[in-house]
Amino acid sequence: MAVILDGKSLRNKLLENLKKEIDEFEVKPSLAVILVGEDPASKIYVNNKRKTAESLGIVSTVITYPQDVSEDVLLAKINELNRDSSVNAILVQLPLPKHINKQNVIDAISPEKDVDCFTLENCGRLFTGLEPAVYPCTPQGILFLLDEYNIDLDGKHVVVVGRSNLVGKPMALMTLKRNATVTICHSHTKNLKDITKTADVLISAVGEVLIEDDMMKDECVVIDVGIFKDDSGKVRGDVNFDAVSKKVSYITPVPGGVGPMTIASLMLNTVKLYKKQNKRSL
């Protein structure tokens, strides 16, 4: 039976320490989240982020817009938040409606307030191996979890399934930086199973049940980023947990694995940006 990589416990531990740090700050860090439209999943994610931030003493502002908001209105708001020195971190909750150019909106965020490493400047820094303002929340949370269980990536074969800008690509770059040998797979990959079978660490970020127990070595570490509801309304990940957990060495559950680590990362990143901004203004 695999060891469960317990994201909930690690989140609690990290946030407990973070709260102690925030308690010492006279002026509290502040996170602004922009939410467009009525997507139920986005609303839940944003609400969870707000609640967690508030429980730590981070000032959390959620700015909501209807689905038909114009790009100009969003850009004007982001510019206002950029200029507002009481706001340390800005997050635009994705997805955005189709009539809005996502990249224009993301790139309006000041790189130094870019809490999920979305902007071209921070992505470029990540790509070249330079330090971005902060690392993207989900991949960073996964690395925290691997570190907590002393899972070293040096020389290991990491297979990332999924190539989104949010998870797959930055995950690949960040494991490469840890000296892993990295393969990225996607919907056009042929013979996926042949590749995943060679993985020491298999990270799946797809959004459908895809990873079965015949797709990996026994000693594989399996990270399930996927989170979605199946036809019966049950929250699921990409991995067939019941079967795979009987076989591999380590595995993340869904829920309770990567999800809590993403939120923890967002909070840590907010405080990191706050500290950088305050240091500079001294």
Positions marked catalytic: 49, 93, 116
Binding mask 47-86 for ligand NAP (x = CB under 6 A): ----------------------------------------
| Kind plus residue range of the DSSP H or E element containing 78 | helix 71-83
Measured from the CB atom, the residue of 163 and 275 that comes closer to ligand NAP is: 163
Is the distance from CB of 138 to CB of 132 less than 8 angstroms?
no
Query: Which positions from 85 through 144 interact with ligand NAP, judged by CB under 6 A?
Result: 138
The H-or-E segment that residue 162 falls in is none
**In terms of CB distance, is 41 or 120 closer to ligand NAP?**
41
Residue with tokens 């996607």: 186
| Residue from 168, 170, 241, 271 binding ligand NAP (CB under 6 A) | 168
| Residue 129: HSE in the Cβ half-sphere, 13 Å Cα cutoff | 5
Q: Is residue 186 close enough to count as binding ligand NAP by CB under 6 A?
A: yes
Number of residues in contact with ligand NAP, rule: CB under 6 A?
Answer: 25
267 CB neighbour count, 10 Å cutoff: 27
Quote the least distance from Cβ 166 to ligand NAP, whole Å: 4
Report the nearest approach of ligand NAP to the CB of residue 71 (Å).
Answer: 21
- Contact between residue 31 and residue 59 where contact means Cβ atoms under 8 Å apart: yes
Interacting residue with ligand NAP among 30, 88, 262, 277 (CB under 6 A): 262
Among residues 28, 163, 178, 276, the one that binds ligand NAP under rule CB under 6 A: 163
* CA neighbor of 241 nearest in space, from 209, 194, 193: 209
Site string for ligand NAP, 197-236 (x = CB under 6 A): --------xxx--x--------------xxxx--------
Q: Which of 32, 34, 14 is nearest to 22 (CA)?
A: 14
Both tokens of 158, joined, read: 């990491």
**Chain centre to alpha carbon of residue 203:** 13
Q: Is the previous residue joined to 95 through a cis bond, with omega within 30 degrees of 0?
A: yes
The correct pick among 42, 48, 183, 189 for binding ligand NAP (CB under 6 A) is 189
* Cα torsion 251, 177, 132, 70: sign: negative
The interface region with ligand NAP, picked from 80-88, 112-120, 185-193, 271-279 by CB under 6 A, is 185-193
Q: Which residues pair with 89 in a beta bridge?
A: 31
Q: How far is the CB of 250 from ligand NAP (least distance, A)?
A: 17
Contacting residues toward ligand NAP, per CB under 6 A:
138, 161-164, 166-168, 185-189, 192, 205-207, 210, 225-228, 258-259, 262
